[in-house]
Amino acid sequence: MEEALRKAKAIAVRTDEMLFDLSRLKEFGDEARLEPVTFTLKEGRDIYRHSASHIMAHAVKTLFPEARLAIGPATEEGFYYDFDLDRPLTLEDLGMIEKKMAEIVGEDRPFRRRVLAKTEAIDLFRKAGQDYKVELLGEITDESVSLYEEGDFVDLCRGPHVPSTGAIRAFKLLSIAGAYWRGDEKNRMLQRIYGTAFDKEKELKEYLVFLEEVKKRDHRRLGKELDLFSISDDIGPGLILWHPNGATIRKAIEDFWRDEHTKADYKILFSPHIAKLNLWKKSGHWDFYRENMYSPMEIEGLEYELKPMNCPFHIQIYKSGLRSYRDLPLRYAELGTVYRYERSGVLHGLLRVRGFTQDDAHIFCREDQIEDEVLRVLDFTLFILKTFGFDKYDVYLSTRPEKFVGTPESWERSTGALKCALELKGLAYSVDPGEGVFYGPKIDIKVKDSLGRAWQCSTIQVDFNNPERFDLGFRGSDGKEHRPIMIHRALMGSLERFFGILVEHYAGVFPLWLAPVQVALLTIAERQTEYALKVREKLKAEGVRTEANLDNEKIGHKIREATIRKVPYLGIIGDKEVLEGNVSVRRQNGENLGSMTEEDLLRLLKEEIKHRG
């Protein structure tokens, strides 16, 4: 058995979904069914990295004997440990700690499991001055607890662990950050060290390369390099300035969005940015969403609010006339700009801002239409996302939160409708208990980008509450008044955020239909200027975003410059091309398409733009 496990490179074993240390094999009889848990399994990685975090804590304790330890779990991509120290850690400290860890790994100390009574453990940690451990122990209900020891380092831990410290082959400490004890800002701020560990040096290297790639694709960096957007100190944090290049891409996205919504029988709306405070009181936002809203402004003695959401406006439009059951479903869509207060520490480039434009829509329908409408929205969403090259998703169903409006029964019903639609569509999803918005349950879709990272974009929310609050009605076939229900939905979420994600997803190399400049014409010498301008005018007249670089520079310089700006197509024009009436075409990736007429080029471009390639 042990032999087999060694061969399988087991880190621990599993039986009936319980994980055990390899050292506990003798507790099982020969007939026990034990599965090896290896690094390739999530459970195995977690055990491995959790062990690495113990070793890190050991190293920190050695270097800083006064350190008080909090918690140190494995994460998706690595591990961390929180410490309470006398002085702030520096980057140099990380190197020192790493070195110490390498020593501990080199000593190959076995991880030893020890079980003792909770009271004994409390005693032990209290004597050691480990208050955080004592606090944790106080909340454990079991009579006995397990400790893990390697060398002279002991930690409270459920386990399991790798057999010995030598098992950790490749690790790296990555960053230092502040973190509240138990994530609560009322508690003391601790120092967190993040690190990662792999069972092969090669995998660690690959991960570090991945981190480099993430850095290179950072939309804030590319936003500057490609002159897409900026944030100005003079204007304010979290407020986005769209530069011409970024605005061109945004317009292409918006045009696409409007066209598709019109085709899908949505009506496009516009609404103002402020409304009377009273409206927000009526909608419930003032009670349930105030912490994200700005302070009211006074206009002629009345209070007005900057809008954090678009729904009340769409509701007013619904209410502006009598509605019949024949009108439903009524789908109102708007690229609506909203403003939400975000604490300064959470702002992040385009991904977390204070003013943003939602690709919002509200569908007013009868209760029996919900499922059908949600299905339609799901289809529509997946189509839109696919257009941007997103074809992998994580889907979540969020249920009733603590702060909510409406009755538990209406929540039941709407959650059921969402569930049904997801199941009919055959989408795998997980349930996020308590994560719904205050007015209703929701489906969230997270897209996976080209690096496999998940981003929350789309959200579909059922609302039984606002129709009630605003006393919405429609005349039914029975001649009586009925209450419609509302579905709120955003597909891209916010244009700012979605754009930021796109920049990273495409690494700044936008597909032709989105590229700010689609073709750059590069002349070899000044005598081709006139011809180049003529070609430019023709392409522009056909709607192709074309630029001509007539600078007094060598062709190599111009190619380099346009390639760095990630222009998808370059048209090189020298004497030969002028003579033949051609353009020599080259793609951003260096692929040479050879010489062709301007009509052929146009055909090629238009085809690619049409397919949104």
Partner RNA sequence: GCCCAUGUAGCUCAGUCGGCAGAGCACAUCCUUGGUAAGGAUGAGGUCACCGGUUCGAUUCCGGUCAUGGGCUCCA
Under rule CB under 7 A, residue 272 binds RNA? no
User: Which residues, 111 to 170, sit near RNA by CB under 7 A?
Assistant: none
* Least gap, CB of 147 to RNA (angstroms): 26
The residue from 189, 241, 431, 454 that contacts RNA (CB under 7 A) is 189
Output the smallest distance, CB 474 to RNA, in A: 27
Longest CA span, the chain: 93
Per CB under 7 A, the list member of 62, 146, 387, 456 interacting with RNA is 456
Give residue 305's identity as a one-letter amino acid code: E
If binding is defined by CB under 7 A, does position 400 make contact with RNA?
A: no
358 touches RNA (CB under 7 A): yes
Q: Does residue 212 interact with RNA by CB under 7 A? A: no
- Residue 186 in the binding site for RNA (CB under 7 A): no
Instruction: State yes or no: residue 177 binds RNA (CB under 7 A).
Output: yes
Least distance (Å) between residue 122 CB and RNA:
25
Q: Closer to RNA at the Cβ: 164 or 310? A: 310
Q: Which of 175, 262, 278, 316 forms a contact with RNA (CB under 7 A)?
A: 175
- The HSE-up count of residue 224 (CA atoms within 13 Å, CB side) is 8
Question: One-letter amino acid identity for 28?
Answer: F
- Helix or strand (DSSP H, E) at 101: helix 91-107
Q: What are phi and psi of 308, to 5 degrees?
A: -95, -15
The piece of 107-115, 259-267, 486-494, 538-546 that touches RNA (CB under 7 A) is 486-494
State the minimum distance, in angstroms, from the CB of residue 14 to RNA.
Answer: 28
**Contact of 150 with 112, CB cutoff 8 Å:** yes
Q: Which residues are catalytic?
A: 311, 340, 358, 360, 362, 442, 488
Amino acid of residue 595: S
236 binds RNA (CB under 7 A): yes
Q: Which residues contact 111 (CB under 8 A, 6 or more apart)?
A: 21, 23, 51, 54, 148, 149, 150, 161, 162, 163, 164, 165
Among 65, 301, 345, 426, binds RNA (CB under 7 A): 345
Residue type, 495: L
Q: Of the listed pieces 162-170, 242-250, 343-351, 405-413, which binds RNA according to CB under 7 A?
A: 343-351
Q: Which is nearer to RNA, 331 or 488 (CB)?
A: 488
How many DSSP H helices and E strands does the chain contain?
19, 30
Backbone angles phi, psi at 578, to 5 degrees: -60, -45
- Residue 12 vs 548, nearer CB to RNA: 548
Q: Does 224 bind RNA (CB under 7 A)?
A: yes
Among 121, 156, 524, 567, binds RNA (CB under 7 A): 524
Q: Of the candidates 42, 99, 576, 611, which one interacts with RNA according to CB under 7 A?
A: 576
- Cβ distance 243 to 230 under 8 Å? yes
Report the b/e string of 341-364 with b at 16+ CB within 10 A.
Answer: eeeeeeeebbbbbbbbbbbbbbbb
Minimum distance from residue 497 beta carbon to RNA (Å): 4
Compute CA distances 371 → 253, 417, 424, 447, 468, whole Å: 28, 6, 9, 23, 20
Is 150 or 496 the residue whose CB approaches RNA more closely? 496
Q: How far apart are CA 12 and CA 21, in angstroms?
A: 5
- Ranges within 535-574 binding RNA (CB under 7 A): 552-557, 559-561, 563-564, 570, 572, 574
Q: Give the range of 34-42, 50-58, 175-183, 530-538 binding RNA by CB under 7 A.
A: 175-183
The residue ranges of DSSP E strands in 118-188, in sequence order, are 144-150, 153-156, 170-180
Q: Which residues contact 251 (CB under 8 A, 6 or more apart)?
A: none
Backbone angles phi, psi at 273, to 5 degrees: -90, -15
Strand 144-150 to 442-448 pairing: unpaired
In the list 79, 81, 304, 356, the residue contacting RNA (rule: CB under 7 A) is 356
The residue within the footprint of RNA, chosen from 3, 7, 26, 88 (CB under 7 A), is 88
Q: Which stretch binds RNA (CB under 7 A): 40-48, 180-188, 387-395, 419-427?
A: 180-188
359 binds RNA (CB under 7 A): no
CA distance 346 to 353: 9
Residue 64 contacts residue 191 (beta carbons within 8 Å): no
**Closest approach of Cβ 353 to RNA, in Å?**
4
Q: Is 577 in the site for RNA (CB under 7 A)?
A: yes
**Would you count residue 507 as binding RNA (CB under 7 A)?**
no
Number of residues located near RNA, criterion CB under 7 A = 73
Segment 412-441, which members bind RNA (CB under 7 A)?
435, 437
449 binds RNA (CB under 7 A): no
Q: How far is the CB of 525 from RNA (least distance, A)?
A: 3
Three-state SS across 211-265? HHHHHHHCHHHHHHHCCCEECCCCCCCCCCEECHHHHHHHHHHHHHHHHHHHHCC
* 63 contacts RNA (rule: CB under 7 A): no
- Please state the closest distance from residue 348 (CB atom) to RNA, in A: 5
Cα torsion 134, 138, 143, 144 to 10°: value is -30
Q: Does 348 bind RNA (CB under 7 A)?
A: yes
Contacts (CB under 7 A) with RNA, residues 40-59: none
